[in-house]
Amino acid sequence: MFSENSGRQSLWPATDRLQSGSHLTGTHKYNSLIGTIIRRFSVCGKIFLRKLRICALALLRGVTILAGAPTLFCANTAPAAPAFVQGNYAVPQSPQTSVTVPYTKAQAAGDLNVVVVGWNDTTARISSVTDSTGNVYQLVIGPTQVNGALSQSIFCAKNIVAAPAGANAITITFSAPATYPDIRVLEYSGVDPLNPVDVLVGAAGNSATASSGAVTTTSVNDLLVAANTVRPVTISSGSGFASRLLTEPDGDMAEDQIVATTGSYSASATLGSAGPWVMQMVAFRAAASSTPTPTPTPSPTPPPLAYIQGNYAVPQNPETSVTVPFTGAQGAGDLNVVIVGWNDSTAQVRSVTDTMLDVYQLAVGPTQVSGYLSQSIFYAKGIAGAAAGANAVTVTFSSPANAADVRVLEYSGIDTGTPVDVFGAATGNSATSSSGAVTTTNATDLILGANCVRTSTTGPGSGFAQRLLTKPDGDIAEDALATIAGSISATAPLSSAGPWVMQMVAFRVAGSPTPAPTPSNSVTLAWDPDAATGNSATNTAGYYLYIGTTSGTYTQVTDVKNATTYVVQNLTSGTTYYFAVTAYNSSGTQSPYSNQVSYAVP
């Protein structure tokens, strides 16, 4: 494992390549129903009924329009106000790498799960938050820390699936044994199932009162959920708050309050004596709450575009999992890029995750030379800040990948809303690798190029700056700045002729205008969910979606967690795609494939 070019650097030499050309436009495609397929298959002795549906959509850069889709209206029905449903906690008194806390009562579909994770050190990190029914947990705030003494983070899962009493349990996994982990789990009804988080705040101190600090809400009827982790003990909740959990013997609290109007709010709690504390508060929106029109404020100045750091790992034996750390500190809001190359076309990338629970999306790939090479590029936008060495990316493959080459890079100054402008990819067998040309649509783009080769790359292409050149594999990551929308490509010279894959992604710089809707082909797939049972070991925890361009051969697999619909974007016109779904349980055992469906892109 090697680290190159760590630290903030100027991005490009004075000979930046700027190319212009015609803008690309497209036409809207009508929506059409492709078909409905029913398949029965089993997982761990259970029999499930699967219906896999597929629809062609016109995707307007983030806005999906489905013609003729039914709309459900509820007349004269007021949404229920947020309400506390249940809570539980676990407080092991010895260091632990994993802690599980069950929900003892039945859980209702559409509710909100909140997980508070506190621990008495700043060395251990949270590797994952999962549950038995496959709900997806997102980091809301944290870790907020007292150096060397305390840490706390809050996670949530929105729009949860139903579960019988005792069937769902939360599991927290740490990177190292955490000292005095204090895990609190809560369930609330009546919270916005789509966009639950309004605002948040956190603070740390050393006194006899813990306080989150103040924050101004933007929605009426917000549910304020607050929690602390302390070195003394908490003896009472703050003014206006109801105590929901007070852990014993740790003395850490979870409390809540519903506020009818917008305004400045904070959470506090009284401690038994002065001592170190961390306190956080999250305001969750009520279901169907209206958001007041905010007072216009000056737009913040976007951070400058800069390459921050890079690192790579190149195991020379087949591996099913490869981890690469970011050795320097990471800035909140930056962009992480993960380039995954490997020397076969059999293994597939199953997941890309990191320690800070940033969410990674596929930008392009897998692009393949059949039997020889594969490469995909992933990215995580608006990342969480992390101390030096605190964040590491883990790439998991479906089977041992030959000569895996994983490169990670961090950039500041990239659009956190819609970072990807365009992308391109190509393969060949020659002494120069090239992504092929694409036409950018944004005035200022970061152009990132990367290759995976059977020979060796000797340096960056014309106008590009080399960021990583892996040893001994000889695969490159390079970048350039384009300041005029137009045609551009990424190239890199090789030591000799041989098979290669090269890809390029154009990322939009922060402060760029919102892109105009550009039509692109996509399909939406949907399947019927499984009802949970009382046996968490055999419950379906999630689904894998398999995609290929040859019937019965799938070159891409996506873990869609517990979602039962998925939009596959950026399909190539004139190509037929094939899709299948498998279910998996909490131990990772998969079902057979569902019946295959196909879609020929116009």
| pLDDT of res. 319 | 95
CA 138 to chain centre: 8
Report d(CA 380, CA 58) in Å as an integer.
25
The residue extents of the domains of the chain are 2-24+304-508, 32-69+519-600, 86-188+197-284
Report d(CA 237, CA 256) in Å as an integer.
9
Report d(CA 457, CA 510) in Å as an integer.
31
Looking at the DSSP bridge assignments, the partners of residue 425 are 503
Report d(CA 578, CA 547) in Å as an integer.
6
Report d(CA 278, CA 202) in Å as an integer.
8
DSSP, collapsed to helix, strand or coil, labels residue 345 as coil
Write out residues in the chain with pLDDT < 70, as ranges. Answer: 1-79, 289-302, 514-520, 528-534, 536-537, 588
| pLDDT of res. 304 | 84
| pLDDT of res. 79 | 58
Looking at the DSSP bridge assignments, the partners of residue 367 are 375
DSSP, collapsed to helix, strand or coil, labels residue 337 as strand
What is the per-residue DSSP string for 491-515? Answer: EEEEEEEEEEEEEEEEEEBTTPPPP
* CATH classification (class only), 32-69+519-600: mainly beta
Task: Please state whether the predicted TM-score (pTM) of the whole model is above 0.75.
Answer: no
Amino acid at 431: A
Report d(CA 496, CA 25) in Å as an integer.
38
DSSP, collapsed to helix, strand or coil, labels residue 126 as strand
CA 71 to chain centre: 29
CA 171 to chain centre: 18
Report d(CA 486, CA 300) in Å as an integer.
28
- Find out whether 269 and 224 touch, Cβ atoms under 8 Å: no
User: Residue 170 to residues 130, 142, 175, 530, 536: CA-CA distances in angstroms?
Assistant: 6, 18, 17, 19, 11
| pLDDT of res. 97 | 93
Report d(CA 437, CA 86) in Å as an integer.
56
Other beta carbons within 10 Å of 25: 10
Rounded-to-10 torsion of CA 324, 328, 331, 336: -30
Secondary element (H or E) of residue 215: strand 215-216
- Find out whether 12 and 465 touch, Cβ atoms under 8 Å: yes
Report d(CA 337, CA 308) in Å as an integer.
11
| pLDDT of res. 63 | 27
| pLDDT of res. 69 | 30
How would you write 540-598 as a 3-class SS string?
A: EEEEEEEEECECCECCEEEECCCCCEEEEEEECCCCEEEEEEEEEECCCCECCCCCCEE
| pLDDT of res. 316 | 94
CA 584 to chain centre: 20
